[in-house]
Every structure is written in structure tokens, then in C-alpha cells.
Structure 1
Amino acid sequence: MDQKLIDQLNQWHEEDEHQQIVNTLLAVPEDERDYEMISRLGRAYNNLDLYDEALSQLDKIAEAGKQDSIWHFRVGYAYYYLRRYKEAVQAFATSDKLEPGDENTEYFLQMSRRKLKKQQRQKQRLAAKQTALESSRSSIDTVPFSDMSLTNFWEKSEYARQEYVSEPPTDELIASIEEELGYKLPASYITLMKHQNGGIPRNTCFPTEEPTSWAEDHIAITSILGIGREKSYSLCGDSGSRFMIEDWGYPDIGVVICDCPSAGHDVVMLDYRTCGRDGEPEVIHVDQEDDYEITFLAENFEEFIKGLVSEEEYDTSEEDKATDLHKVAHGKFSSLLEELCAKVTEVEQIEQKIRRICTEIVEEKGHFSFHADEKSYLMYDVQFWLYTKSYPDTDREHYLDIYPKMIAFGGEFGQGGYAPSWITGWLDQRKKEGRIVKDHGRLQFTDQAIAELIQQLQKA
């Protein structure tokens, strides 16, 4: 492949013009496509979320790719997003063996192993449930919540009443909502809604055996959606179940019944995949932040309600805040961050400036993490400026690869993780604002943006 084409493909990759890459490479006669062309074609398909097509291309160079860590990584990447975690583990493990120490490979290998174990447990549980359903010859009807008082279940507040609570549902309304949703609602759900039709429960946390984007050992809900259409957060309201499935992309496998503190980025659903549309659904957590990852919560809605616990059981905020304040004040910088800071002459005591900004972040949030707020964006700016000042030939892909090594996974002075979407969102925003520009594939701040940043740091 000639250098001119390589440069063009690199530019399109940097600009997220992956379809251009596909179109250009497919225009080359198949018998003239070399190893590098096919490998890049596979990567482009991966970036277009066309994972089967990626595997189809990468399979054509499987023999030649046996000793290529990048080939194994791209294969693993496709398997991972196809949720074929067993094959993903094998591919990432081989890539890691061929090129040890690559942070992206290690991350995906760890995640693939975790998701494989979860997938295997899920299959075993569903198989056991299916067997139980098939062997069950009779069922005993019980009155929902007969052994639980609902008197103090709901939070009584004007906000909850205005935003969530509707009049008790009539049988006619229930039938209408079920028809619109396409699912029969559980008797326990209807019983709870006849007690109060939607609202905020006093207990808003549910324990989990596996970590989610919310916490290592539990999920949290904001409310339980009522049966109706009147309130925005009711089953058929304008922010209800169908809206979350059709507009937010949640899997069409049941009914969204709870919103969460993430404002749409995770929900609780009734899952009808095993029981059918008229059966007794399980309750699951669906995590949009993790490619709509599903986590099992409870066998049925009543079990879910009875399993809710107070957020106070998980309140370690004071201890976490104290730990993170000590971390940002005294933790050793990563070797990369130390190297970058040592080259700064424009701002005196840059290390102390960084620690001061991060201390303010912990004081405001209670923990050390960057999101989409003003101070987080300032720290994204600082890291980008530090890195591109020392390494001016940085393109988008390279920067996103190197970013975790500064603070996100920075050891003592680190966050222990991050969501890549926050970084890409910041980068896209700065490019949209014209503060970050691209010159021959290289990303850099404008002179004005640098001057403004230095001024902010000098005031910090």
C-alpha cells in the first residue's frame, strides 16, 4: 500500500470518516488488497459497528495475522461488541501475549473475562428457570405484598406528587396501557400502583452481585413509573417506556419501570424474554453506558420491591471524600504526568495548580472523577495542553490511547478508571468551539486557547 493512500486513510480515520475508508478499500479489486488494506478495512467496519463484516474481512488474513497483536486485538474487539466473550477473551489474551503491557488490550481482556463469567451465570440461571417453568404443573395464586406493609413505602413530597404520582389506575386504563406496551403487567406491579400510582420510594437502592456504572455492589433508582399517560414519567408518558426503548435504544424485551439518577443512562426493566408477553417477568438493570449491559436483579417485581434498601446502607461518602482529598493532595503523579509537568515554563508550580483544581473537584463532587462540568473540562484542557506541548505530532487516536496514562489510570494520583465517552465528548466540543484544530492530522490548541488556559492556571 503506497504512502499517499496510507496518509489518506489515516486522515479519514482521524476524522471518523470510516465509511470513506470502506468505500475506498472496497474499490480496490479484491485480489489486489494486501494484508494492511484488509486489516484497516476490518478496523473501519469495527468503527462503523459492523462487527460481522469486520470479522469476515479479518478472517481473510487470519493465517498471516497469527503473530500480529493488532490483528488479534481487532478480532477481539469485534467479538466483544458482538457479546461473544469467550472468543473475545481468546483473541485479547493472544494479543496481550504477543505485545504485553498494552493498556487497551489489558482493559478489554479484563472486561471480556468479567462479562464471560456473567454471561455464563446468566445462561445457567435462565436454563434453570426454563426447566422449572416447563416442569411446573400448577401454580398457587398468592395476594401480592400480603406479608409486607406498604404504608411507609413511598416518599411523601410535593415534588414526587407533581412529577410522578397519578390517580389510581382503573381496570380499563390498565388494559389500555398493556395493549399499548404489548405486555401483561405483573399482578404485584398493578397492586403497588393501586396503592399509589407511581412515585419515589423511600428505599432507592438494590444490591447486585456484579458492578455496574453506578456502583460496585448496587444500583439506584429515582422513581417507579406509574400506570398511565398523564405524567411524563409514567409507563406511556412522553418519557416513559416506549420513549426509552425507541429514542434511547434500550432493548425491546419488556417494559421500563424505573428511571435512575443517571438521567437516562441506565434504567430498570421488566424482562419478558423467558416468560413471554403474558408471563411473570424478571427484573433487570440495563446500562446504556456499558453498551446496554443487562444485570439480573430479581425473579419478579415483588421480589425487587422487597429487596430495595436505603441508600444509607451504601453511604461511604465521607470516607471516600477523605481518601480522595488525601490522594489529590499527596499522591505521586504518574511518570508521564511528571514528565509533562517538568517541561512547563509558562506556569509556575504547575503540579500544585493541578492538585488545587483536583482538590476543588473532590470538594464539589465528594470523589475524584472528571465528567462534563466546568472544572473537569479545565482538567481535560490541562492534560491535552501538557501532552501536545511535548508531543506535537499527536492525532486523535493516539491521544485517546495515551489519555488514561496521565491521570485516569495514574496510580497514586489517579481515578482508577474513566468513561471514554466523557473524553471524546470534550474533544468534540472543543473542536466545535474552534479551540482545538487539526493541522495535517495533528490536533492542537489554538494560540488563543492556550493563552486563555494559561491565564486560568495562573489564577488557580
Structure 2
Amino acid sequence: MSKELLDKLESWYDEGQHDQIAETIEQLPESERDYEIVSHYGRALNNLGRYGEALQQLLSIEQQGRQDPVWQWRIGYAYFFLQQWEKAVAAFEQAEKLGSDNEAVQEFKEACRDIMERQAEAIKEMERVPFRERDFSQFWERSDYADKSYVEAPPTDETIASIEEELGYKLPADYIWLMQQQNGGIPVNTCFPTAIPTSWAEDHVAITGIMGIGREKMYSLCGELGSKFMQEEWGYPDIGVVLCDCPSAGHDVIMLDYRACGRDGEPAVVHVDQEANYRITFLAPSFATFIVGLVNEEAFDTSEQDMLEDLNKVKNAQFSPLLQSLCEKAEGINQIEAVIRNICTRIVEDKGHFSLHADELSALMYDVQFWLYTGANQEVTREQYLADYKEIIVFAKGFGTGGYAPAFITDWLDDRIGQGEIVNDGGVLSLTAEAAERLINKLAAIESELEDQGEFVRR
């Protein structure tokens, strides 16, 4: 391998351009793919979540790689995410014996052993009390939101067959049984321990709800934001069925994973992390063991620290370039940045975290963003605004929520149009003069309060 190509591969690796590495190597003739090239290819495929292909490539150079700690690490990594725990442990142990200085080797080896121990414990627990003999009377949380967004009517045999046909997978028998008791909803226990960190937490993942078998509710398997939507619109891999949504509003999900068992078998349950290039993390060997393994969020309660961090964020973090630009062009409010920070501080104090949903203060922030955006741009269309909306606050590196559910902003927009506060003139959206005046007066009142308290943030 030429030094120039090696330098390019290393540079792309540092920049996270794993797809560029894979594409470049794939264009090379087989005759030019030496040990080092194939090893780089396996690393890139691992980082792209193409673990089966990575394993195949790395095994093609096994004879040379056996005495290479880097090769042992890479093949162990592929085995890990393919849920072949014993082979992964063997590779990680060999990497250590060969003198690997990669700290992740020890971390992943311990994670494998932790997973195997948990699996053994889960099997014993299921043998002690079979899944369908357990008491699920206190399993579900009762709320209007759950009823509105998740809970379907009990599924009929016809509905089950129809949903399975649409999804292309046979649903687990224990899942069907539980849905016949209550078809979807929000469980009381919403956390599941993990052996390795994810984008959500160091030691667990969290779910918002469990999707029911149906099409009527927003969060049903074939509902508006169900499994097919998450795969077609959010790019989640076709390894099975999206089972649970998560608090990140789309940036991670829980899936039934049929890769090892086939479309008619008993799937494992995995966490799929969009924030980490759709990395797949094993959770449980079956739906039943996943449900039994759910624990209450109090076991991982970091809410107080999270709230303090989000309060610091909304009070001090830098605005996105787009939001900063919009604030500088705002007319009618002199200290709009201070006003925005005040509203968002109240949101965090009310919820314990920084997120915009369907509550009154969130609606006020939707109003503010639309007012700022339309004040700085001419002939704003619905498509244009929804595309740019994400860059105002949602995905800002500093002052941002880190995620959102698109339905919240589209529902707000439709409501404002229905109320006559936003007009659609030939596809161009704008606040009415009356609505704009009411909003400015409301913001001016907040500005006045801040002025009395001496709490302005310098623009």
C-alpha cells in the first residue's frame, strides 16, 4: 500500500469518513488489496455498522491476522455486534495477549461477559416464573397521552396477520400475547441496562412507549410514526421491526432483530442508535426477556444533574448561527435573546429538561421562531420553514434540544393556520398583523420584567 493512500485512509478515519474509506477500497482491484488494505476495509465496514461484511473481509486475512492485536480487536468488534459473544471474548483476550494498548479491548471483553451473565440470569428468571404467568396488572402507566398515541383496540387474528404481512416479519408470540392484554402503551418501567454506553446514557437505554399491533394510533407498528416510517424516513436498517420509540424523538429506537433467526423466527431485541451511524447494541435474546428486564428510571435517576446542565445551557450556551442572525434582524423587541432564554429557562424549570412538545410554553417558542424567521425572510413556504426550523434551535450545537418529533411543529403550524393566526397566501406563510402584535406585546411584557430584574443578556 502506498504511503499516500495510507495517509488518506488515516485522515478520513480521523474525520469519521468511513464511507469514503470503504468506497475507495472497493474501487481497488483485488490484486492491490493487501493485508493492510483489507484490515482498513474491515475497520471501515465495522464503523459503518456492516458487521457481517467486516467479518467476511477480516476472516479472508485470518492467517496473517492471528498474531496482530489490531486484527484481533477488529474481528472481536465485528463478533460483538453480531452477538457472537464467545468468539468476541476469545478475540479480545487474544488481542490482550498480543500486547494491545487499546483501552476499548478490556471494556468490550467485560461487556461480553456481562451480557452472557445477564442472558443466563434472564433464562433462569423465565424458568422460575414463565412470562405468561407473570402479573402485568401494574405494568402499564395510565394516561390520556398513552391512550391517544399508543393504545389500540385488542388485535384480532386478521389484524395480526395483516400487520405481519405488511411488515414482512412474524411477530413474537409473547409480544402478541401481551398486546392482547393491552395493545400498546407506556410502561411504568422504561429503562433497560446496557453493557456499553449509547447516545442516551453510559449504562442504559430508555423507551417512551411500546408500539401496539395496528395502524390507528400514531405510535403503532404501522401507524403514522411506526416501524415503516422510522425505516423509510429516518433510515433505520431493515433488520426487523421497530418496537419502541425513545425519548430522543427519533434519534434512537428499540427494534426486534431477525438477522439471526430469519423472518419467521424468535428475534432478539436491540437498540439502534442513529447518532452513532445506526450502531446496533444487543439488549435481550427475546421480547419476553426484554420486558422482564425493564427497570424503573429511578434506578438511573440523573434528573437533578440533567436539569442543572440544561439550565446552564439555556442561560449561557451560544445560539445557532441561524438563530443569532434572526435575533439580530428582529424588530419590536430590543432584548430578544434575553427573552428567548427566559422562556426556555421556564420550560426547563417546568419539565426538568430542555425540549419542545405540545405545552403552552413550547407553543410560545414555536411562535417566536416563526415570527423571527418570517421577519427575516420573504415569501416563506411551509417546506422552506420546516426544513430550516431544525437549524434554529433543534440541532444547534450549543443552545439546542438535540432532537424533536416533527409532528409537534407541524401540528402547531396547522393549528395556527386553522385559528387564522397564520395565513397561507398562495403557498406563502405569514403571521397576521394582529397575531404578530399580540406576540410582540407578550414578549415585551417579558422584556419589561427582565429589565426590572436587571437580567438582560448582552447581544
State the TM-score, normalizing by the size of structure 1: 0.50
Q: What residue number does 1:392 align with?
A: 378
User: Contact 1:206–1:307 (CA<8 Å) still a contact in 2?
Assistant: yes
Name the CA shift for 1:154/1:395 in 2 (closer, same or farther; >3 Å): same
Is 1:308 aligned to 2:294, yes or no? yes
Is 1:274 aligned to 2:260, yes or no? yes
Q: What is the SS of the residue equivalent to 1:244?
A: coil
Q: Give me the whole-angstrom Cα distance separating, in 2, the residues matched to 1:417 and 1:408.
A: 6
Is 1:121 aligned to 2:98, yes or no? no
Q: Deviations over 1:347-398 (max 9, x none)?
A: 3533332222111111112112222322212112112212322333444454
Q: What residue number does 2:316 align with?
A: 330
User: Contact 2:19–2:48 (CA<8 Å) still a contact in 1?
Assistant: no
Q: Give me the whole-angstrom Cα distance separating, in 2, the residues matched to 1:312 and 1:446.
A: 46
Deviation at 1:320, TM superposition (A): 1.3
The code of the aligned residue for 2:51 comes to: R
Q: Give me the whole-angstrom Cα distance separating, in 1, the residues matched to 2:260 and 2:438.
A: 57
Q: What is the SS of the residue equivalent to 1:406?
A: helix
Q: What is the SS of the residue equivalent to 1:426?
A: helix
Task: Mark the runs of 5 or more structure 2 residues left unpaired by the alignment.
Answer: 1-17, 25-42, 54-77, 88-122, 151-155, 229-237, 447-459
Q: Give me the whole-angstrom Cα distance separating, in 1, the residues matched to 2:406 and 2:210.
A: 30
Name the CA shift for 1:437/1:307 in 2 (closer, same or farther; >3 Å): same
User: Contact 1:224–1:257 (CA<8 Å) still a contact in 2?
Assistant: yes
Q: What residue number does 2:221 align with?
A: 244
Q: Give me the whole-angstrom Cα distance separating, in 1, the residues matched to 2:252 and 2:403.
A: 19
Structure 1 vs Structure 2: percent identity of aligned residues? Answer: 49
User: Contact 1:250–1:288 (CA<8 Å) still a contact in 2?
Assistant: no
User: Contact 1:155–1:201 (CA<8 Å) still a contact in 2?
Assistant: no
Name the CA shift for 1:334/1:302 in 2 (closer, same or farther; >3 Å): closer
Deviation at 1:184, TM superposition (A): 8.2
Task: Find the partner of 1:446 among 429, 432, 456.
Answer: 432
**Structure 1 residues 38-53: aligned runs within 5 Å:** none
Q: What is the SS of the residue equivalent to 1:219?
A: strand
Q: What is the SS of the residue equivalent to 1:414?
A: coil
Deviation at 1:266, TM superposition (A): 8.6
Q: What residue number does 1:319 align with?
A: 305
Deviation at 1:444, TM superposition (A): 2.1
Q: Give me the whole-angstrom Cα distance separating, in 2, the residues matched to 1:307 and 1:317.
A: 22
**Structure 1 residues 81-92: aligned runs within 5 Å:** 86=19
Is 1:378 aligned to 2:355, yes or no? no
Q: What residue number does 2:30 align with?
A: none
Deviation at 1:421, TM superposition (A): 5.0
Q: Give me the whole-angstrom Cα distance separating, in 1, the residues matched to 2:361 and 2:328.
A: 23
Is 1:358 aligned to 2:339, yes or no? no
Task: Out of 338-347 and 372-381, give the one that drifted further.
Answer: 338-347
Is 1:207 aligned to 2:184, yes or no? no
**Structure 1 residues 16-95: aligned runs within 5 Å:** 86=19
Q: What is the SS of the residue equivalent to 1:206?
A: strand
Is 1:145 aligned to 2:126, yes or no? yes
Q: Give me the whole-angstrom Cα distance separating, in 2, the residues matched to 1:180 and 1:120.
A: 28
**Structure 1 residues 253-292: aligned runs within 5 Å:** 270-272=256-258, 274-276=260-262, 279-284=265-270
User: Contact 1:155–1:200 (CA<8 Å) still a contact in 2?
Assistant: no
Deviation at 1:450, TM superposition (A): 0.7
Task: Out of 257-266 and 324-333, give the one that drifted further.
Answer: 257-266
Deviation at 1:321, TM superposition (A): 1.0
Q: Deviations over 1:255-308 (max 9, x none)?
A: 887787799999755444532466432124579999x99764323346535643
Q: Give me the whole-angstrom Cα distance separating, in 2, the residues matched to 1:425 and 1:238.
A: 17
Deviation at 1:160, TM superposition (A): 6.4
Q: Deviations over 1:27-83 (max 9, x none)?
A: xxxxxxxxxxxxxxxxxxxxxxxxxxxxxxxxxxxxxxxxxxxxxxxxxxxxxxxxx
Q: What is the SS of the residue equivalent to 1:145?
A: helix
Deviation at 1:312, TM superposition (A): 2.4
Q: What is the SS of the residue equivalent to 1:444?
A: strand
Q: Give me the whole-angstrom Cα distance separating, in 2, the residues matched to 1:156 and 1:343.
A: 56
Q: Give me the whole-angstrom Cα distance separating, in 1, the residues matched to 2:162 and 2:376.
A: 62
Q: Give me the whole-angstrom Cα distance separating, in 1, the residues matched to 2:218 and 2:332.
A: 52
Task: State how many pairs are aligned.
Answer: 328
Task: Find the partner of 2:206 among 217, 220, 224.
Answer: 220
User: Contact 1:340–1:387 (CA<8 Å) still a contact in 2?
Assistant: yes
The code of the aligned residue for 1:356 comes to: N
**Structure 1 residues 404-423: aligned runs within 5 Å:** 404-420=390-406, 422-423=408-409
Q: Give me the whole-angstrom Cα distance separating, in 2, the residues matched to 1:221 and 1:451.
A: 41
Task: Mark the runs of 5 or more structure 1 residues left unpaired by the alignment.
Answer: 1-84, 92-112, 133-141, 165-172, 226-232
Q: Give me the whole-angstrom Cα distance separating, in 2, the residues matched to 1:224 and 1:440.
A: 41
Q: What is the SS of the residue equivalent to 2:369?
A: helix
Q: Give me the whole-angstrom Cα distance separating, in 2, the residues matched to 1:315 and 1:458.
A: 38
Q: Give me the whole-angstrom Cα distance separating, in 2, the residues matched to 1:433 and 1:362.
A: 28
Q: Deviations over 1:183-215 (max 9, x none)?
A: 88879x59x97xx99999775311355757x76
| Cα RMSD (Å) | 5.9
**Structure 1 residues 144-183: aligned runs within 5 Å:** 145-146=126-127, 157=138
Name the CA shift for 1:384/1:364 in 2 (closer, same or farther; >3 Å): same
Deviation at 1:219, TM superposition (A): 3.3
Q: Deviations over 1:108-162 (max 9, x none)?
A: xxxxx99983631376568776xx9xxxxxxxxx876347899xx8676497699
User: Contact 1:86–1:116 (CA<8 Å) still a contact in 2?
Assistant: no
